[in-house]
C-alpha cells in the first residue's frame, strides 16, 4: 500500500452567516498558526477542543465529519453540488483556513490552484509572480529558473510576461496560475474548478498535465463539475452533500449515484420582489424559464423539440452595457454550447436604462441529445466583466422521440444529436462492373 499523502480526520468547518473576517497583520497570522498547531495537538491527544462557536446568531456547517486517507500517487476527484463543501475542504487541506474541528495531515509540498490568480500580486509582472510563487512553494531560485521557460510556454503568455498581471485577462490569469502550480512540481497538486475559464485546447493540456503528475507518483485532488474529466483522470471519487461524505469509491460508481439523485428538473424559477431576488446592486434576476417554443414550462421537450431559454432581469443602473451568457451542460458536466446574444439586433452595444428586461434564446430541435441538462447564467458588463453568476439556475430534461429512433433502440452517444443533411449515390452496378472487367 502506498504511503499516506493526505489524512483527514473528522474535519468540520462552521461559519457564521454574514460574518466577515477582518484583515490580519503578519504577527496575527504567526500567532494564529501557533494556536492552530496547539489545537491540533490537543485534538489528537483527546483534549477538549475549546469552547467552539457561540450558539447565538445563525451558523452553518460548511463541512462536517469528513474523513479519508489518500495515498501517494493517487488522484482523487471531489464532486457535489454548489455549497456541498468541496472548496471548503480544499482550503483546509491547503492551509488557507483552519478547521473548526478535526485535523488534516499533509505529507509533502502542496501546490494549490483554488481561484484564478491565487497568490498573484496584481502590481507584479508575470515573471515576478512566477518567482514569488516558486519561493512560496519552497523552490530554490535555480529550480525556478530551470522551469521558467516551460511555465511561460505552457501558459502561452510569452508576449506579456513582463506586463503586470492586473492587465491580464481572466483566461491569461488561469493559464499562468495553473502553469505555475503544475510545473513547480509539488508533491500534492490541489485544483478547484478554475479550468472552466480556459479554452478547450488549454483544458486538454491541463488534464494531460494533471494525468502526468499522478502517473509520476504525485498526489492530485481535483474538484470539478465535469464528470467525464473526473472519471478520466481520477482513480477514486468522493461525493459531498451538505458538508458530509455521501459516497467514496470508484469514480464510475460514485458519479452514477450522484447523477441519479442530484439533478432534479427545475424548468422555471420566479423571484417577484427585487430586494429578495438573486443578484447585486447592478442586476437582479426576476425569472428564469426553459420551455418548448410556443409551449409552457411543464410541457415535454424531446430531441426534436425547438425550445426557448428565457430570463427576465432588473437593470439597476442607468447606461449599463449588459448581455447574458448561457452555458448549457450535459449530465457529464461537459459544456454542450455557450449562447450569447451576438445576433440580437436592438439592444446589443446600446446603453440600458434602468428597468425590467427580458432575454429569450431560441434553440432549434435536433440539437441536444436526450438526458438531463443544466444551465449556468452569467451576466456580463461591457462585454468583458462578469458581474453576476448563477450555476444550475435551470435544469431540464430532453427526452428521446419515438420517431427519431428509426430502428435504433440503444442510446445514441455524444453531447449533441443533430439531424444533418445526408446523400447516398449509386455510382456503378456490380454486374455492370463485372461485365466490363471480363
Domain ranges of the chain: 4-262, 269-404
Which pLDDT belongs to residue 47? 41
pLDDT bin (cut points 50, 70, 90) of residue 401 is confident
pLDDT of residue 26: 46
Superfamily of domain 269-404: abc- transporter (atp binding component) like domain (2.70.50.60)
Provide the pLDDT for residue 402.
60
Decide which of 233 and 407 is more confident.
Answer: 233
CB atoms within 10 A of CB 429: 9
Higher pLDDT, residue 6 or 226: 6
**Band (49; pLDDT cuts 50, 70, 90):** very low
Using 50, 70 and 90 to split pLDDT, how confident is the model at 404?
low
- pLDDT attached to residue 9: 93
Q: What is the pLDDT of residue 278?
A: 93
* Reported confidence tier of residue 413, pLDDT bands at 50, 70, 90: confident
pLDDT of residue 50: 44
Q: Is pLDDT above 70 for 48?
A: no
Lowest mean pLDDT among 220-229, 237-246, 362-371: 220-229
Q: What is the pLDDT of residue 39?
A: 54
Higher pLDDT, 49 or 236: 236
Please say if the pLDDT value at position 219 is more than 70. Answer: yes
Q: What is the pLDDT of residue 31?
A: 53
d(CA 235, CA 75): 6
- pLDDT score of 119: 67
Residue 135: pLDDT band with limits 50, 70, 90: confident
More confident residue, 424 or 116: 424
The verdict on pTM exceeding 0.75 is no
Complete edge-to-edge strand list for the sheet that includes strand 4-16: 59-71, 4-16, 101-106
pLDDT tens digits for 202-212?
777 777 777 78
Q: Which of 16-25, 50-59, 117-126, 215-224 reaches the highest mean pLDDT?
A: 215-224
Percentage of the chain exceeding pLDDT 90: 36
Q: How confident is the model at residue 249 (pLDDT cuts 50, 70, 90)?
A: very high
Residue 364 has what pLDDT? 95
Query: What is the pLDDT of the chain when averaged over all its residues?
Result: 82
Q: What is the mean pLDDT of residues 304-322?
A: 95
Residue 198: predicted pLDDT: 55
CATH topology of domain 4-262: Rossmann fold (3.40.50)
Torsion sign over Cα 411, 250, 265, 226: negative
pLDDT the model gives residue 258 = 84
**pLDDT digit string, tens, across residues 140-188:** 888 888 989 998 998 888 999 999 988 988 778 878 887 887 777 778 8
Mean pLDDT of all residues in 9-32? 64
- Model confidence at 36, pLDDT cuts 50, 70, 90, reads low
Q: What is the pLDDT of residue 54?
A: 47
Give yes or no on whether 4-262 and 269-404 have one common fold. Answer: no
Closest to 295 (Cα-Cα) out of 287, 307, 304 = 307
Amino acid at each position: 500500500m502506498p504511503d499516506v499523502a493526505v489524512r483527514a480526520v473528522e474535519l468540520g468547518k462552521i461559519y457564521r452567516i454574514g460574518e466577515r473576517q477582518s484583515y490580519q497583520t503578519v504577527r496575527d497570522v504567526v500567532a494564529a498558526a501557533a494556536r492552530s498547531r496547539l489545537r491540533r495537538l490537543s485534538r489528537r491527544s483527546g483534549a477538549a477542543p475549546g469552547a467552539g462557536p457561540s450558539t447565538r446568531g445563525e451558523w452553518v456547517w460548511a463541512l462536517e465529519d469528513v474523513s479519508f486517507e489518500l495515498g501517494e500517487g493517487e488522484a482523487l476527484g471531489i464532486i457535489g453540488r454548489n455549497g456541498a463543501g468541496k472548496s471548503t475542504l480544499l482550503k483546509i487541506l491547503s492551509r488557507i483556513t483552519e478547521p473548526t474541528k478535526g485535523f488534516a495531515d499533509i505529507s509533502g509540498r502542496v501546490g494549490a490552484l483554488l481561484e484564478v490568480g491565487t497568490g498573484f500580486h496584481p502590481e507584479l509582472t508575470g515573471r515576478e509572480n512566477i518567482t514569488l510563487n516558486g519561493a512560496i512553494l519552497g523552490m530554490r531560485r535555480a529550480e525556478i529558473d530551470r522551469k521558467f521557460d516551460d511555465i511561460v510556454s505552457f501558459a502561452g503568455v510569452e508576449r506579456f510576461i513582463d506586463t503586470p498581471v492586473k492587465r491580464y485577462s481572466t483566461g491569461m490569469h488561469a493559464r499562468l496560475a495553473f502553469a505555475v502550480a503544475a510545473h513547480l512540481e509539488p508533491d500534492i497538486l490541489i485544483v478547484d474548478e478554475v479550468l472552466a475559464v480556459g479554452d478547450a485546447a488549454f483544458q486538454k493540456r491541463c488534464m494531460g498535465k494533471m494525468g502526468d503528475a499522478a502517473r509520476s507518483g504525485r498526489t492530485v485532488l481535483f474538484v470539478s463539475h465535469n464528470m467525464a474529466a473526473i472519471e478520466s483522470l481520477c482513480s477514486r471519487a468522493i461525493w459531498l452533500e451538505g458538508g458530509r461524505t455521501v459516497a467514496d469509491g470508484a469514480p464510475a460508481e460514485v458519479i452514477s449515484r450522484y447523477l441519479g439523485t442530484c439533478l432534479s428538473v427545475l424548468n422555471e424559477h420566479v423571484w417577484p420582489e427585487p430586494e429578495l431576488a438573486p443578484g447585486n446592486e447592478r442586476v437582479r434576476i426576476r425569472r428564469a424559464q426553459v420551455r418548448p417554443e410556443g409551449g409552457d414550462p411543464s410541457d415535454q421537450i424531446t430531441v426534436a423539440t425547438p425550445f426557448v431559454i428565457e430570463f427576465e432581469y432588473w437593470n439597476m443602473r442607468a447606461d449599463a452595457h449588459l448581455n447574458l451568457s448561457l452555458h448549457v451542460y450535459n449530465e457529464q458536466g461537459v459544456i454542450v454550447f455557450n449562447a450569447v446574444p451576438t445576433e440580437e439586433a436592438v439592444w446589443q452595444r446600446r446603453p440600458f436604462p434602468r428597468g425590467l428586461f427580458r432575454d429569450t434564446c431560441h434553440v432549434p430541435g435536433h440539437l441536444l441529445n436526450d438526458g438531463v441538462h443544466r444551465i449556468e447564467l452569467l451576466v456580463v458588463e461591457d462585454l468583458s466583466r462578469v458581474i453576476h453568476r448563477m450555476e444550475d439556475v435551470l435544469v431540464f430534461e430532453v427526452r428521446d422521440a419515438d420517431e427519431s429512433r428509426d430502428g435504433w433502440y440503444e442510446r445514441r452517444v455524444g453531447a449533441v444529436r443533430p439531424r444533418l443533411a445526408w446523400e447516398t449515390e449509386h455510382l456503378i452496378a456490380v454486374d455492370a462492373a463485372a461485365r466490363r472487367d471480363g
